[in-house]
Structure 1
Amino acid sequence: MLSGIKQRGIVGKDGKIEIQTPDLPEGTVVEIIVLIEQDTNKSDPSYQVPQDTTEYLLSTEANRRHLMSAIEHVETKHNLVSFTPEEWDEEYNIHLSYNLANSPFPIPKNENTITQ
Protein backbone atom coordinates (compact mmCIF):
# COMPACT_ATOMS: atom_id res chain seq x y z
CA MET A 1 0.00 0.00 0.00
CA LEU A 2 1.29 3.46 -0.90
CA SER A 3 0.88 6.44 1.32
CA GLY A 4 2.20 9.94 1.03
CA ILE A 5 3.72 12.71 3.04
CA LYS A 6 3.58 16.29 1.78
CA GLN A 7 6.01 18.78 3.23
CA ARG A 8 7.42 22.12 2.18
CA GLY A 9 10.91 23.26 2.90
CA ILE A 10 13.87 25.31 1.79
CA VAL A 11 17.00 23.94 0.20
CA GLY A 12 19.89 24.31 2.59
CA LYS A 13 23.64 24.64 2.23
CA ASP A 14 25.15 22.54 -0.57
CA GLY A 15 21.65 21.70 -1.87
CA LYS A 16 20.69 19.74 1.23
CA ILE A 17 16.97 18.98 1.65
CA GLU A 18 15.72 17.54 4.93
CA ILE A 19 12.49 15.63 5.45
CA GLN A 20 11.48 14.92 9.02
CA THR A 21 8.93 12.15 9.47
CA PRO A 22 8.88 10.42 12.84
CA ASP A 23 6.10 8.16 11.50
CA LEU A 24 8.53 6.29 9.23
CA PRO A 25 10.74 3.66 10.82
CA GLU A 26 14.46 3.77 10.11
CA GLY A 27 15.35 1.83 6.97
CA THR A 28 12.01 2.40 5.21
CA VAL A 29 12.50 2.62 1.43
CA VAL A 30 10.96 5.82 0.03
CA GLU A 31 10.72 7.54 -3.34
CA ILE A 32 11.26 11.29 -3.26
CA ILE A 33 9.88 13.74 -5.82
CA VAL A 34 10.97 17.38 -5.55
CA LEU A 35 8.70 20.09 -6.97
CA ILE A 36 10.34 23.50 -7.27
CA GLU A 37 8.50 26.83 -6.96
CA GLN A 38 9.89 29.21 -9.56
CA ASP A 39 8.59 32.47 -8.08
CA THR A 40 9.89 32.36 -4.51
CA ASN A 41 11.77 35.48 -3.49
CA LYS A 42 15.13 34.13 -2.35
CA SER A 43 16.50 37.59 -1.56
CA ASP A 44 13.76 38.36 0.97
CA PRO A 45 14.99 37.17 4.40
CA SER A 46 11.50 37.48 5.86
CA TYR A 47 10.09 34.96 3.34
CA GLN A 48 8.51 32.02 5.12
CA VAL A 49 7.19 28.87 3.54
CA PRO A 50 3.41 28.93 4.04
CA GLN A 51 2.03 26.13 6.15
CA ASP A 52 0.14 23.46 4.24
CA THR A 53 -3.62 23.55 4.94
CA THR A 54 -3.66 19.95 6.15
CA GLU A 55 -0.70 20.60 8.43
CA TYR A 56 -2.44 23.65 9.84
CA LEU A 57 -5.70 21.80 10.48
CA LEU A 58 -3.86 18.97 12.22
CA SER A 59 -1.39 21.23 14.05
CA THR A 60 -3.17 21.09 17.42
CA GLU A 61 -4.66 18.24 19.39
CA ALA A 62 -8.01 20.06 19.63
CA ASN A 63 -8.20 20.45 15.84
CA ARG A 64 -7.28 16.78 15.31
CA ARG A 65 -10.00 15.63 17.72
CA HIS A 66 -12.58 17.93 16.11
CA LEU A 67 -11.73 16.76 12.57
CA MET A 68 -11.69 13.09 13.52
CA SER A 69 -15.05 13.50 15.25
CA ALA A 70 -16.49 15.19 12.15
CA ILE A 71 -15.18 12.39 9.91
CA GLU A 72 -16.67 9.78 12.25
CA HIS A 73 -20.06 11.55 12.15
CA VAL A 74 -20.03 11.49 8.35
CA GLU A 75 -19.02 7.83 8.24
CA THR A 76 -21.76 6.84 10.71
CA LYS A 77 -24.28 9.27 9.20
CA HIS A 78 -24.77 10.87 12.61
CA ASN A 79 -26.31 14.37 12.68
CA LEU A 80 -26.40 14.64 8.89
CA VAL A 81 -29.03 16.60 7.02
CA SER A 82 -30.16 14.78 3.90
CA PHE A 83 -32.50 15.77 1.10
CA THR A 84 -33.41 14.74 -2.41
CA PRO A 85 -32.28 16.76 -5.42
CA GLU A 86 -35.87 17.94 -5.83
CA GLU A 87 -35.98 19.18 -2.22
CA TRP A 88 -32.69 21.00 -2.72
CA ASP A 89 -33.96 22.59 -5.93
CA GLU A 90 -37.18 23.73 -4.28
CA GLU A 91 -35.46 25.13 -1.18
CA TYR A 92 -32.17 26.53 -2.46
CA ASN A 93 -32.30 26.95 -6.23
CA ILE A 94 -31.83 30.49 -7.38
CA HIS A 95 -34.36 31.02 -10.10
CA LEU A 96 -32.03 32.13 -12.86
CA SER A 97 -34.58 33.46 -15.34
CA TYR A 98 -36.17 35.73 -12.71
CA ASN A 99 -32.80 37.03 -11.52
CA LEU A 100 -31.55 37.70 -15.05
CA ALA A 101 -34.73 39.54 -16.01
CA ASN A 102 -34.44 41.81 -12.96
CA SER A 103 -30.68 42.26 -13.09
CA PRO A 104 -29.32 45.83 -13.14
CA PHE A 105 -26.48 44.56 -15.35
CA PRO A 106 -26.92 44.21 -19.11
CA ILE A 107 -27.22 40.68 -20.41
CA PRO A 108 -24.95 40.05 -23.42
CA LYS A 109 -26.74 38.86 -26.54
CA ASN A 110 -24.89 36.29 -28.59
CA GLU A 111 -25.37 32.88 -30.11
CA ASN A 112 -24.84 31.22 -26.70
CA THR A 113 -27.60 33.19 -24.95
CA ILE A 114 -30.53 31.07 -23.82
CA THR A 115 -33.88 32.54 -24.79
CA GLN A 116 -37.32 31.47 -23.74
Structure 2
Amino acid sequence: MAATPQADADPVRAFIAQTVAEHDVVLFMKGVPDQPRCGFSSLAVQILDQLEAPFVGVDVLQDEALREGIKAFTDWPTIPQLYVKGEFVGGSDIVKEMFQAGELQALMVEKGVALGQE
Protein backbone atom coordinates (compact mmCIF):
# COMPACT_ATOMS: atom_id res chain seq x y z
CA MET A 1 0.00 0.00 0.00
CA ALA A 2 1.62 3.25 -1.15
CA ALA A 3 -0.45 5.70 0.89
CA THR A 4 0.59 6.27 4.46
CA PRO A 5 -2.18 5.00 6.72
CA GLN A 6 -1.36 7.70 9.29
CA ALA A 7 -2.17 10.52 6.85
CA ASP A 8 -5.56 8.97 6.10
CA ALA A 9 -6.30 8.41 9.79
CA ASP A 10 -5.37 11.96 10.85
CA PRO A 11 -8.37 14.27 10.30
CA VAL A 12 -6.29 17.43 10.90
CA ARG A 13 -3.74 16.45 8.27
CA ALA A 14 -6.56 15.52 5.89
CA PHE A 15 -8.23 18.94 6.49
CA ILE A 16 -4.97 20.79 5.80
CA ALA A 17 -4.27 18.79 2.64
CA GLN A 18 -7.83 19.30 1.37
CA THR A 19 -7.80 23.05 2.12
CA VAL A 20 -4.47 23.54 0.35
CA ALA A 21 -5.66 21.48 -2.63
CA GLU A 22 -9.01 23.28 -3.00
CA HIS A 23 -7.79 26.90 -2.90
CA ASP A 24 -5.15 28.67 -5.00
CA VAL A 25 -3.82 30.73 -2.08
CA VAL A 26 -4.18 29.72 1.56
CA LEU A 27 -2.83 31.51 4.63
CA PHE A 28 -2.84 29.54 7.86
CA MET A 29 -2.80 32.37 10.36
CA LYS A 30 -3.65 33.54 13.85
CA GLY A 31 -7.04 35.22 13.57
CA VAL A 32 -8.94 35.92 10.38
CA PRO A 33 -8.01 38.22 7.47
CA ASP A 34 -10.30 41.00 8.75
CA GLN A 35 -8.94 40.66 12.30
CA PRO A 36 -5.45 39.15 12.47
CA ARG A 37 -4.44 38.30 16.04
CA CYS A 38 -0.67 38.64 15.67
CA GLY A 39 1.65 41.06 13.92
CA PHE A 40 3.15 38.41 11.65
CA SER A 41 -0.27 37.26 10.43
CA SER A 42 -1.28 40.90 9.97
CA LEU A 43 1.80 41.56 7.83
CA ALA A 44 1.11 38.55 5.62
CA VAL A 45 -2.52 39.67 5.13
CA GLN A 46 -1.39 43.20 4.24
CA ILE A 47 1.02 41.85 1.62
CA LEU A 48 -1.63 39.60 0.06
CA ASP A 49 -4.12 42.49 0.09
CA GLN A 50 -1.57 44.78 -1.57
CA LEU A 51 -1.05 42.19 -4.31
CA GLU A 52 -4.85 41.90 -4.54
CA ALA A 53 -4.38 38.15 -4.30
CA PRO A 54 -7.56 36.19 -3.61
CA PHE A 55 -6.84 34.00 -0.60
CA VAL A 56 -8.45 31.91 2.10
CA GLY A 57 -7.42 32.58 5.69
CA VAL A 58 -7.57 29.67 8.14
CA ASP A 59 -7.57 30.64 11.82
CA VAL A 60 -5.33 28.19 13.68
CA LEU A 61 -6.32 29.67 17.04
CA GLN A 62 -9.71 27.96 16.79
CA ASP A 63 -8.20 24.50 17.26
CA GLU A 64 -5.08 23.41 19.15
CA ALA A 65 -4.81 20.27 17.00
CA LEU A 66 -4.83 22.41 13.84
CA ARG A 67 -2.28 24.84 15.30
CA GLU A 68 0.12 21.97 16.00
CA GLY A 69 -0.91 20.00 12.91
CA ILE A 70 0.04 22.75 10.44
CA LYS A 71 3.51 22.93 11.97
CA ALA A 72 3.95 19.16 11.56
CA PHE A 73 2.43 19.23 8.04
CA THR A 74 5.24 21.44 6.72
CA ASP A 75 7.86 20.80 9.37
CA TRP A 76 7.84 24.58 9.82
CA PRO A 77 7.71 25.90 13.42
CA THR A 78 5.91 29.21 12.99
CA ILE A 79 2.59 30.68 11.90
CA PRO A 80 1.52 32.20 9.52
CA GLN A 81 2.17 29.79 6.69
CA LEU A 82 1.42 30.67 3.08
CA TYR A 83 0.57 28.16 0.35
CA VAL A 84 0.26 29.00 -3.34
CA LYS A 85 -1.27 26.35 -5.61
CA GLY A 86 -0.54 23.64 -3.07
CA GLU A 87 3.09 24.65 -2.57
CA PHE A 88 4.34 25.83 0.82
CA VAL A 89 5.92 29.25 0.30
CA GLY A 90 6.98 30.18 3.84
CA GLY A 91 6.21 32.26 6.87
CA SER A 92 5.96 35.99 7.44
CA ASP A 93 9.66 36.84 6.96
CA ILE A 94 9.97 34.85 3.73
CA VAL A 95 6.69 36.29 2.38
CA LYS A 96 7.90 39.82 3.19
CA GLU A 97 11.31 39.26 1.56
CA MET A 98 9.75 37.71 -1.55
CA PHE A 99 7.23 40.56 -1.79
CA GLN A 100 9.92 43.24 -1.48
CA ALA A 101 12.00 41.52 -4.18
CA GLY A 102 8.99 41.15 -6.50
CA GLU A 103 9.29 37.36 -6.25
CA LEU A 104 5.95 36.71 -4.55
CA GLN A 105 3.95 38.42 -7.28
CA ALA A 106 6.05 36.62 -9.93
CA LEU A 107 5.41 33.26 -8.24
CA MET A 108 1.67 33.87 -8.18
CA VAL A 109 1.59 34.92 -11.82
CA GLU A 110 3.72 31.92 -12.77
CA LYS A 111 1.35 29.59 -10.87
CA GLY A 112 -1.69 31.14 -12.57
CA VAL A 113 -3.17 33.05 -9.62
CA ALA A 114 -5.36 35.90 -10.89
CA LEU A 115 -4.17 39.04 -9.08
CA GLY A 116 -6.26 42.19 -8.83
CA GLN A 117 -9.60 40.47 -9.38
CA GLU A 118 -11.84 40.74 -6.35
Task: Please give the TM-score of this superposition, normalised by the length of structure 1.
Answer: 0.22
Instruction: Indicate the structure with greater strand content.
Output: 2
Bigger radius of gyration = 1
